[in-house]
Amino acid sequence: MSIITFPTLDVAATEERVENNVVRVYTQQEIDKSLSKEHRRTGFGCDITGCTTFQDILNETGTDWHVDKQPVYLGDGRQVPNNWAIIRDMDGKILSTQTVSDQFAPLQNDELSEIADGLISEGAKPYRGGSYHGGANIWYEFDLSDTNILGDPHKHSLIILNSHIGKGSVMIMDTLMRIVCSNQMNVAMKGTDRKWAIVHKGNMQLKMTEAQRAIMNANTYLEAYKATARDLQRKTLTAGDVRALTEVLLPYGKDAKDTHISLVNERRARLTDLYYNKEDLKDFGSTAYRFLSAVADYTSHPVLKRHTKTSNEANEHRIMTGDPMLQNAYKHLIAA
């Protein structure tokens, strides 16, 4: 049986990439600096609050590099059709063992300047960003404003997310965070866009149009969320309601074993404890919004057996793109 061989680059020498007939040469100092910043974390990602342009952001987050598509070969030298590896030009790193198709055209990090600089010109402030999953995903967060929801301070921001390994289009995502506890309140609501794909064409007009669209969508989402919060705050939950919702969100599943039932019971107890006893939720009373906030606390701060770089990044990606359990809670509470 032939084995699949991924391409390799000469990492002993400085990599060169030809773009617009100009050869880009990375010095070893640039490579070391970029890789150092890729691993420097302030919670999740790098602090970019001091950046004023997207080029500043690329430099600060260590993401000022490009990717290339390279063919994949079998052990006998034959090229595998419609399979390409994505390689970082800076150091020759293969960003994923998953391949992309002939049609996939990578969008380079610096090409995101179209929308990022547009957001900055519209008043959005760089907050944090970087790469995760070994460079396969790139993200940058821009702070819009702090806002008050039911007397509770929230941070409102937009995130640009790009995948270099064919995992979807470039996305812009709206995100709300309760400042008092860092809970992410990211739910998709009917009639509003919390996340959407952006088009890349490389012109100034598009940069401003996409940025203005993003700000407009963000403002619409925020007002819709505030209205939803008020509606949920008017809904009273009984102890029976809380128990029923908890069982729906954390089911045993079919033919569950005793060990799994015990684990689910622990999770149910934790969610119930957050609802009844979390100090920063008590002012909401026995309401649907309090329960949604308890679920947001549960999903934003999961109890893991081991905290590793991989598990932390997977958790942040799940929260960023929209946690299914939080979304399910929102759906049931709205329908109640």
List the structure tokens of 26: 């990375």
The predicted structure's pLDDT at residue 199: 57
The predicted structure's pLDDT at residue 222: 95
Sequence-distant (≥ 6) Cβ neighbours of residue 271 within 8 angstroms: 246, 249, 250, 294, 295, 298
The predicted structure's pLDDT at residue 33: 53
The predicted structure's pLDDT at residue 204: 47
The predicted structure's pLDDT at residue 306: 72
Q: How far apart are CA 15 and CA 222, in angstroms?
A: 45
Beta bridge partners of 253: none
List the structure tokens of 301: 């701060």
Task: Decide: residue 8, CB within 10 A, 0-12 exposed, 13-18 middle, 19+ buried.
Answer: exposed
Find out whether 53 and 110 touch, Cβ atoms under 8 Å: no
Chunked into runs of 10 residues, the chain (336 residues) has average pLDDT values of: 42 36 48 47 75 95 93 92 93 89 89 89 93 91 92 92 83 91 89 79 58 90 95 96 97 90 96 96 95 96 78 85 95 94
Q: How far apart are CA 138 and CA 57, in angstroms?
A: 12
Q: How far apart are CA 324 and CA 336, in angstroms?
A: 18
pTM of the predicted model as reported, rounded to 2 decimal places: 0.82
The predicted structure's pLDDT at residue 298: 96
3-state secondary structure the chain: CCCEECCCCCCCCCCEEEECCEEEECCHHHHHHHHHHHHCCCCCCEECCCCCCHHHHHHHHCCCCCEEEEEEEECCCCEEEEEEEEEECCCCCECCCCCECCCCCCCCHHHHHHHHHHHHHCCCEEEEEEEEHHHCEEEEEEEEEEEEECCEEEEEEEEEEEECCCCCCCEEEEEEEECCCCEECCCCCCCCCCEEECCCCCCHHHHHHHHHHHHHHHHHHHHHHHHHHHHHHCCECCHHHHHHHHHHHCCCCCCCCHHHHHHHHHHHHHHHHHHHHCHHHHHHCCEHHHHHHHHHHHHHCCCCCCCCHHHHHHHHHHHHHCCHHHHHHHHHHHHC
Find out whether 161 and 152 touch, Cβ atoms under 8 Å: no
